[in-house]
Amino acid sequence: MSESSGSRSMPTVIVEADAPRAPTKRRRLRVALRSPFASVRMLLEFYRTFGDAILRDKGIFVAALASSLGAAFCEIAKPFPLKILFDNVITPAAQRTRLPFIGELSRFSTQELLIGSSAALLGVSLVGALFAYGETYYTAAAGQKTAYRIRKQLVSHLQGLPLAFHARHRSGDLLVRMRADSTSGGATE
């Protein structure tokens, strides 16, 4: 490995450690975290590329968001019937609390409060389960439809490339890369 007399560049020897490596997700994330605005740029680039495929199913995304908020509300509301049970059924009638939307709870008997709080807890749990199911269903449906549109867009792009591109690249490499990229993007479940 000697330098030629008139040339300033040295011949390079590619060692296994110096060989270019395919960027992994972890390496791309490290690069993205170096700059404070890199994540915003990556998000905008993602939206420019796939925004039309995502916005076509905005109704499903809204349903998933509404289901998620409903499930969260039901989780927050679950302890309230237990509060009524512990504060008004277990304690004596003289210490019963007054609730603004129900009124004075002392007008109800202990048995009515027990049945009412149990029914309320059961109702909140059932409605919360329905919202949780809707959240899972709508999120998976939106992810699958979006992944299908992105895959379809990728295949049409590959079909539109000139034949010289396909002659330069091995078909197995393209298929493996396309399959890996499309399944990693569609893993929303």
pLDDT single digits (tens) 19-60: 455 555 555 555 555 566 677 777 788 778 777 777 788 889
* Rounded average pLDDT over 49-74: 87
Q: Please report the pLDDT score of residue 36 as a whole number.
A: 63
Could you read off the pLDDT of 127-149 as tens digits, one per residue? 999 999 999 999 999 888 888 88
Checking if the pLDDT of 101 tops 80, the result is no
Q: Please report the pLDDT score of residue 99 as a whole number.
A: 64
CB-based contacts of 87, cutoff 8 Å, min separation 6? 95, 96, 97
Q: Please report the pLDDT score of residue 146 as a whole number.
A: 82
Give the three-class secondary structure for 162: coil
* Rounded average pLDDT over 152-161: 82
Give the three-class secondary structure for 109: coil
pTM (predicted TM-score): 0.58
pLDDT band at 183 (very low <50, low <70, confident <90, very high): low
* Rounded average pLDDT over 79-102: 72
CB-based contacts of 143, cutoff 8 Å, min separation 6? 186, 188, 189
Q: Please report the pLDDT score of residue 90 as a whole number.
A: 78
Q: Please report the pLDDT score of residue 23 as a whole number.
A: 55
Count of beta carbons in the 10 Å neighbourhood of residue 102: 12
Task: Name the CA dihedral angle for 113, 116, 120, 123, rounded to a multiple of 10 degrees.
Answer: 160
**CA-closest candidate to residue 112, choices 125, 101, 102:** 102
Checking if the pLDDT of 163 tops 70, the result is yes
Checking if the pLDDT of 188 tops 60, the result is no
Query: Cα–Cα–Cα angle for 18, 23, 28, nearest 5°?
Result: 120
Q: Please report the pLDDT score of residue 7 as a whole number.
A: 46
Mean pLDDT over all residues of the chain? 75
Q: What would you report as the CA-atom Rg of the chain, rounded to the nearest whole angstrom?
A: 30
Q: Please report the pLDDT score of residue 11 as a whole number.
A: 46
